Structures are given as structure tokens and as C-alpha cells.
Chain A
Amino acid sequence: MSLFWLILIVLAIAVVGYVLGRARAMSSAGGERSALHSLPSYYGANVAMKAAVPAFLFLIVWLLAQPFYVNSEISAMIPDSAISEGSSRGLVLAEVRRAARGLDNAVASDAITEDFARNARADFNDITARLKEAGQIVTSDITQPVLRAAQRYRVLTAAGNLYMTIAVILVAIVGALWALRETNAQFRARNTVEKGVQAILIAAASIAILTTIGIVLSLVFNTIEFFKLYPAADFFFGVTWSPSFSGRGGSSELGIIPLLWGTFYISFVALAVAVPVGLFAAIYLSEYAGPRVRAVAKPLLEILAGIPTIVYGLFALLTVGPLLLSAFGDNGFGIMKAGTAVMTAGLVMGIMLIPFVSSLSDDIINAVPQAMRDGSYGLGATKSETVKKVILPAALPGIVGAILLAASRAIGETMIVVLGAGAAARLSLNPFEAMTTVTAKIVSQLTGDADFASPVALVAFALGMTLFVVTLGLNIVALYIVRKYREQYD
């Protein structure tokens, strides 16, 4: 709540600054607009910008830095003896934060007084019971070091928030005053404001870089953490995947090979469905179909790409799976045991990828110059011969790029395999058996688990890293091929 009000206050200062800046510029020009260097609104905008932008930047930096400071303070308060066997400092710190939040909420709901929350001692007062009574979720018994740390945490956070509010408002006011001071008729307000706007534009553009850095850093750090607990060679070359949650994951076998096998097998089935259908659809729509058929069929096919993947997942689990089971199950060929299988997920994923392949190939086929077709027809070739002998060879690099992009989509697809492919990791050739993929395991290892200290949870980051590298590689190769091909005919 206080953060929300702080933002409002800063915005209010900016608005007041705008009005004052505009008025000051006008009065310095003696009410004569033509005597000003810039339009009056630029003077106002200059003040507003200088009040709000530094204040918000300061706020963001503070918000990022404060948890670090508080955490290091708290961490220093917890003696090694308070960290029980099999636990870690990170877990105890999480417990401290939970306890502090519990105290906060209990005070807010009048279950305990502020005084009690500040001074209670775990060994004298039944703090755990009282917090539980107040409806707060606290894990085990709160021990004295944890409680003291939690109390200190509350004090530090409260103080930090107070200082932050004061400092941010000060920065905003100082910025506004400074901008007001420089406001006079000769001041080049428009140039200043435009420079500021351009800086904001650059900052917005660099968010794309920041996102990539964020992805890479969050994957790399946690992957390194994982490899400290689990040998990298066992991860990359292990052929068994059997995470065990007992004993903090100490006895699990986390080999990625079965997951990669499942991923590639399902993607292969998906591409075996999507590539022929998508490619022929693209050829038909671009070479044979009249404008009216094209105008109807193309958008209809593209609807398939706009349907959320959860819909396909449900379709695989509840419709395609049982259908395949009735054909290949015990009543049919007898090679399928359950509805969830490589075939189920692959088939449905193939349907999803049809428009992906078809519209990319369509673009590429359309980019082949008409002169090449005319030349071929002139030599007496039929349409299909032109397509096979002239258009496809010319479009081949682009089509390969499209297929690679589709493959990267298939490898990264999550919901269809989570619902349709099953959960068992195995190395098998039978496409009617349940297998699992990298993405499905990321979901199952991380969902609802906030404990990042065990290899069983951290392995998800190593899996994510593998997935990221594989799809990034495919994308880069695909984009390179597509781009190089496009340049040829432009």
C-alpha cells in the first residue's frame, strides 16, 4: 500500500512541477509566448520529467538493494548452530521471512500487539501457537534465533521503507526545484525534454537485452548450484531418470538422456505430421488455389495456431488418447497401455504445428520470383513439375529454416506433453508407450516448490539451460538460413 501511495506522491509532485514550470516560463517571458525558446508545455514537461524520472530510478535501485542489505544483516545474526542437520542457511532465512510476515499479519489482524511482536521470546511465549491461532502459516516451531532474526528483519524492513519514502520524495522535490531554477525564457526546454525522451526510448529498447541477460543469469547461476550438488557428467550422460524426494534428493538419479530421447521422439512424430501436411497445404494455397479459396482457407488454418496450447493438451488427454487407445490398446493391436503416449502428444503437437509450417512456407514460396515460374511454364512444364523442379529447390533453404523453427517450437512445447505424453522417463522405440520430455519435467520438478536447495528442484534449471541452448541454436540457424535466403531475391 505504502509503495502505491509513494508512487502517487511522486506523480503528484511531477504534476505540480509541470504547472509551476509552465507558469514560471510564461512569467519570465512577460506573458509573451513568442519570447520563449520552446512551447510553454515543454518547460512544464522538463520540470515534471526531472522530478519523476530520477525519483523512480532511485526507487527501483533502493527496492533492489534493500533485500540484499537486510538479508546479509539477518544472515549474520543466525549462528551456525541454529542451522539444523540437512538444512541450509537459505532455508532458515526463508523461515525467518515467513515468521516476520506471520508477525506482520498477526499484528494487522489485531491477534497480537505490536509490542508483543517486537519483544516476544520464543522460549517464554508460545509464539508459534499464537501465530497459528491468528491463522498464519508458520512451519515448524519458531526457535529463538529465528524469532530474533524475524524481529530484527521487521525492524530493518520498516526502517528501510521509511527512509526510502523520505529519500524518494526528497529526490523528486530536489529534481523539481533544480528544473524550476533553470527555467527561464532562454532555456532550451524542448531540446532537453527530447533528449530525456530519447533516453527513455533507449532504456525501453534495452529491456530486450536485459531479459536475455536475466534468462541466462537465472539459468547459469542455478545450474552451477545444481552441478555443485550433482556431478555434471552423470547429468549429461546418465540414462536413468528417477528423482527421489526422500533424503533431500541425495539418492536420485538425474540423467537427461531419457528426457532428451522423449523430447526428440515426440518432436519427430509432430514434424512427421506437420511437415507434409503443412508443406502441401502451402503449395496448394500459393500455387493452385484461387483467391477466394485462399481467402477462406488460410485464415481458418491459422486459427489452429491461435488456439492456446492448454486446449491441445486437453484434446490430447481426453480425446486423442482414448481414441488411439481403442485402436491400438488391448482391444485393438495391443501395443498401447494407456492413453498418454508419444503418439498422442506427437499427433496433437503436429496439428498445432501445421499452420506454423504452412504459413512460413507460404511466405517463402510466394517470395520465389514469378519469372522463374513463367520460365518453367514456357518450357512446357506442368504446374506440379514447376513446383517440384523449380519452386521447391529455390525455396528449399527457406523451407528448411521454417522446419527448424517448427522443430524448436516442438521441443519447447510444454502443455501438450505435460498432459498427453505421460510422466515416465524411459528409453524405448515403441511410439505407443508413455515417455516424458525436458519441458514436462521442468514443470513437475518446480511446480509449487519453493525450496531451491535440493538437487531435485535445481535440476529443473539445468534442464531449462539445456532446453534454452538447444532451441536458441535451432532458432539462430533457422533465422540465419531464412535471412540469407530472403536477401537472394530482394
Chain B
Amino acid sequence: MTDTTISPKVAEMPANLPFKSKSLYEVDDLTRKRNAAERRFKAYGVAAVCIGLFFLVVLAYTIISEGIPAFSRTIVEVEFSLTQEQFDEAEGQLFKTKAYEQIFIGALQGQLQESGVSVPFDATTIERIVGKPGNTIRTYFKANQDKLGDAVGFELAASSRVDGYMNGRVTRENMTDSRFLQKTDLDLVDILVDAGVIKTVFNWNFITGADSGVDNPGAAGIGASVVGSFFMMLVVLFLSLPIGVATSIYLEEFAPQNRITDLIEVNISNLAAVPSIVFGILGLAVFIQFMHLPQSAPIVGGLVLTLMTLPTIIISTRASLKAVPPSIRDAALGIGASKMQAIFHHVLPLAMPGILTGTIIGLAQALGETAPLLLIGMVGFVARGYPEGLIAGFTDPNSAMPAQIYTWAARADFAFYEKAWGGIVVLLIFLLSMNILAIILRRRFERRW
């Protein structure tokens, strides 16, 4: 029976029969219900994917919008000259920095008048905006007495509240007058911004600096903990890559089918799922309590992260060893290579791109790990400066990027939150470039058979 024979009959049927239609062209209630259910079900799926992507977008937006302000800082730029007499006079007074501050205010007023604005302001306003400029100026001129009489450009860091005002964290609406900042001060800040005295510049100190004290968020930088992370990653790379590759080669190529092999395999798959904090406990008990390795040292952090990264590297290495076709091994064995030679000279080089990709991804995971580092003492406030040498880089107390971010997030001062977001931007830049490197490696070198 063909369509042509059936269709006239169907067409003859009246459109609105009181009884249930048996036509294929009409959708009955049950089908309508089933189709609606089908559409609903599909919509749930779309919604689920959209929710996931929505969270990703929100996360990315939050990180970028909150993190960017950490990379700028507000400075007060004042050209300043001090004569010998002024210097001697100021040094002769009881409150020396106060005297310098008066001179500074005079200079600032002069500079404003030159650009055509004149507003009165007093020392306390300036102190709230710039901190204590007198001290900075005094230290400078005491150290460089030959500069007396010359015009010297000063870049003074603005106080953290003014910094917040400049990048939108503090607004006139949400601030309350306090001894740190008053609403009227912001008028002066606006004028100074118009006059080009207050400027926003790129905050190099955040990239290169070390952690500061709890009361000085402006000076905190992530540089020292980046170095700490770097030394840890060196340890992880140089331990986990050889150990992971050796383990995989053994399990994939040599291991006999017996209980010990099974035990190793079960162990590896379980270690991959052990919570990271348990590795921190292991590091604390074995490396610090038992072996007396130095606390807070990147080498201990590196050892702990190595143990954590090993399962990842082993799993990906075994997959890439498995992907090398047996014909390669057979050919090598056939021309007289030993099994060891076949594997090390032929299989391993072919599997190398896959192994390196897995290693980079494992390293990226290790780089973002925080909890075990806190247990072995690599908390943020130990990152007070750069290590003094190559060996000191491994053994001196230092922090790591995620632990530094945690320390900032746990502090009470809101200004540190901005630093924490900025730290996350730096951390994610590292992670992103590592993952992109892995993708490029895979695209360029991975062979498919």
C-alpha cells in the first residue's frame, strides 16, 4: 500500500468528528501530551546546560570586575622643592614631620593655583588623603641632601579609602564619615583629580611585591608567593613526571597479572579520590613531624603536591601508552630490540605529547590547591620577601598563590578582598596559559592511529 492510495481516503474524512480521530494527520490528545512532555524534557536539559553556563559567566564576570582594581593604584603626584633654609628650619622644630607637611601643603596649594583652582584645605584633610606625607619627604631629603633646592617630583601613595573611591569601591552613598575619610574630603579629591594631581597608575607593586602587614593593604603584593608557587611546581615537575612515567610504564608494559599489581592499581585509583586535606595531614605528620623537614618550605609543599598529582599523571600517561598501537612494539621486537629498548626507544617517544599534556594539566591542578598547604604552614603571611638564592627558594619559608589569596580573604580589612580577587586573576592567568599550552601541545603533536 502506498501513500497515494491512502491519502484520498484520509482527505474524505470530516475534520471535526465527535468521536476520537484515528487519522495520522491529526494529533490526538495522548500524542499531544507526549509531545508536550517531550518538549518539557528537552527544555529541562537546555535549562540545565544554560544554568551551568550562566554560573560560569557570573563567575568570570565577578572575577574580572572585582579583580581589575587590584592592578591599579592611586598616587598623588606633587612637584616639590625644598631650600636649604627650609630644611634646616624644619629640622630644628620639635614636630619635624609636621613642619614638612606644612611645606608640602604650601607646595600643593601653589601647584593648584598654577592650574587655576584655589581651594582651602587643612593638614588633617591632606593626612586623610595621602597618609602622612611629611615623613616620606623628610626621609627622602635626609637621604639625598644634595637634592635640596632642586625640584623633585614625588609620587605619594593615596590612602586606601581614596584608592577605593577612585575605583568605585567607596562611593559617597555607601561611606560614613570617619577619621579615615569624610565626605567633604571627596570634593577635594575630585578637584585634585581634575587638576591632574591625583592619578591612577598601574600597580606594579601588586605584581612584584610581597605580603604586607594586616594594617597595610595598599602595599600587599603577590610576587613573593608567585615565586613560592614556582619553586613548588619545580619540585612537582621533577618528581612527579619521572615517577609517574615509571609507574605507568611498569603497570602498562611489565606488570604481571597478580595481587600486587591489583593492589597498586586500587591504591592509585583511591589516591585520586582522597580529599586533598588528607594529603596535607600526611605532609604534616610525615615530612614535618617525622622527617623534620623545615616548616612552610616550598620543598615540603612540592612533595605533598607531588603525591597528589601522581594519580592524575599516571592515569593520563597510561592512556597515552595504551594509545600507541601494538604494531610499533612488534616491529621493534621483530628487528631484535629488547622489550626495554622497544618501550624506551619507540613507544615512549610516541606517547610523549600525551604524557606532557597530562603532566601540564596535573601541574595546573596542583598550582590551584590550597588546603594541604595551609596544614604545612605555607600560609600567606610568611611570604614576606623573595628567597635569597636557588636553594633558599626551596627551603626558606614562603607561601603559594592560592594560600596567599586565602590569607587575604580571611583578613578583616575589606581592602584585602580586592587584593584577593586580584590574586585570583593572576592565578587564573597562570592556569589558563598552562591549559592553553596543553591544548596546543595536543593539537600539534598528538598522533592518532
Contacts and interface: CB of A to CB of B under 8 A. Distances in A.
A452 B289 contact: yes
Max chain A CB contacts within 10 Å: which of B41, B292, B424?
Answer: B41
Interface string A364-384: 000000000000000000111
B344 to A, nearest CB: 8
A191 to B, nearest CB: 8
A266 interface: no
B11 interface: no
A32 to B, nearest CB: 19
A400 to B, nearest CB: 16
A278 B48 contact: yes
B374 A358 contact: no
Given A202-B250, A208-B310, A443-B374, A419 B44 contact: no
Contact of B38 (A4, A221, A383, A413): A383
B36 to A, nearest CB: 10
Given A442-B281, A448-B377, A64 B291 contact: yes
B421 interface: yes
B275 interface: yes
B52 A439 contact: no
B267 interface: yes
B56 interface: yes
Given A201-B250, A317-B409, A382-B37, A472 B377 contact: no
Contacts of A311: 59, 63, 368, 424, 427-428
A412 interface: yes
Given A277-B52, A315-B59, A197 B277 contact: no
B406 A310 contact: yes
Contacts of B363: none
B246 interface: yes
A206 B264 contact: yes
A214 B49 contact: no
Contacts of A415: 370-371, 402, 406
Contacts of A279: 48
Interface string A426-457: 00000000000001001100111010100000
A446 B284 contact: yes
B contact patch SS: helix
Contacts of A354: 51-52, 55
B338 interface: yes
B285 A197 contact: no
A158 to B, nearest CB: 16
Contacts of B145: none
Interface stretch (A168-176, A249-257, A299-307): A299-307
A207 interface: yes
Max chain A CB contacts within 10 Å: which of B247, B286, B289, B371?
Answer: B371
A99 interface: no
Nearest to A380: B34
A414 B409 contact: no
A479 B250 CA distance: 23
Nearest to A194: B340
B281 A218 contact: yes
B254 interface: yes
A351 interface: yes
B38 A67 contact: no
A233 interface: no
Contacts of B279: 215
Contact of B48 (A284, A300, A306, A442): A284
Nearest to A71: B292
B274 A385 contact: no
Contacts of A408: 273, 275
A310 B420 CA distance: 10
A265 B406 CA distance: 24
A221 B284 CA distance: 13
B15 interface: no
B237 interface: no
Contacts of B286: 214, 218
Contact of A205 (B49, B246, B277): B246
A207 B421 CA distance: 37
Nearest to A281: B48
Contacts of A288: 42, 45
A475 B273 contact: yes
Contacts of A319: 62, 66
Nearest to B392: A1
B56 A468 contact: no
B27 interface: no
B46 interface: yes
B197 to A, nearest CB: 32
B44 A280 contact: yes
Interface size class for chain B? Answer: 35 or more
A447 B377 CA distance: 6
B287 to A, nearest CB: 9
Given A301-B52, A472-B270, A283 B276 contact: no
A218 B276 contact: no
Contacts of A291: none
Nearest to A478: B273
Given A97-B292, A194-B338, A208 B59 contact: no
A212 B311 CA distance: 12
Given A1-B391, A308-B369, A447-B375, A414 B275 contact: yes
A452 B285 CA distance: 10
Interface in B175-201: none
A309 interface: yes
A211 B44 CA distance: 44
Contacts of B231: none
Contact of A464 (B273, B278, B377, B431): B278
Contacts of A318: 66, 409, 417, 420-421
Contacts of B264: 205-206, 208-209
A318 B369 CA distance: 20
A405 B282 contact: no
B439 to A, nearest CB: 10
A81 B254 CA distance: 59
B255 A205 contact: yes
Max chain A CB contacts within 10 Å: which of B55, B66, B420, B435?
Answer: B55
Contacts of A443: 277, 371, 374-375
B78 interface: no
Contact of B247 (A204, A214, A384, A419): A204
B356 interface: no
A384 B251 contact: no
Contacts of A295: none
A283 B45 contact: yes
B126 interface: no
B437 to A, nearest CB: 14
A405 B273 contact: yes
A422 to B, nearest CB: 13
A411 interface: yes
A209 B275 contact: no
B405 interface: yes
Given A67-B292, A205-B251, A413-B275, A301 B281 contact: no
A456 to B, nearest CB: 15
A98 to B, nearest CB: 11
Contacts of B377: 447-448, 450
A460 interface: yes
Given A4-B391, A281-B49, A446-B284, 18 more contacts: A1-B391, A201-B246, A201-B250, A206-B264, A209-B267, A214-B282, A280-B49, A284-B42, A284-B49, A297-B53, A306-B435, A307-B368, A313-B370, A313-B409, A383-B38, A384-B40, A447-B374, A461-B281
- A-B residue pairs, 10 tightest by C-beta: A412-B275, A284-B45, A308-B368, A218-B285, A280-B48, A204-B246, A384-B41, A414-B371, A201-B250, A281-B48
29 contacts: A67-B292, A198-B250, A201-B247, A204-B246, A209-B264, A214-B286, A215-B281, A277-B51, A288-B42, A301-B52, A304-B59, A306-B365, A308-B369, A309-B368, A310-B424, A311-B424, A314-B409, A318-B66, A384-B37, A385-B34, A388-B41, A408-B275, A412-B274, A419-B409, A439-B371, A442-B281, A446-B374, A447-B379, A479-B270
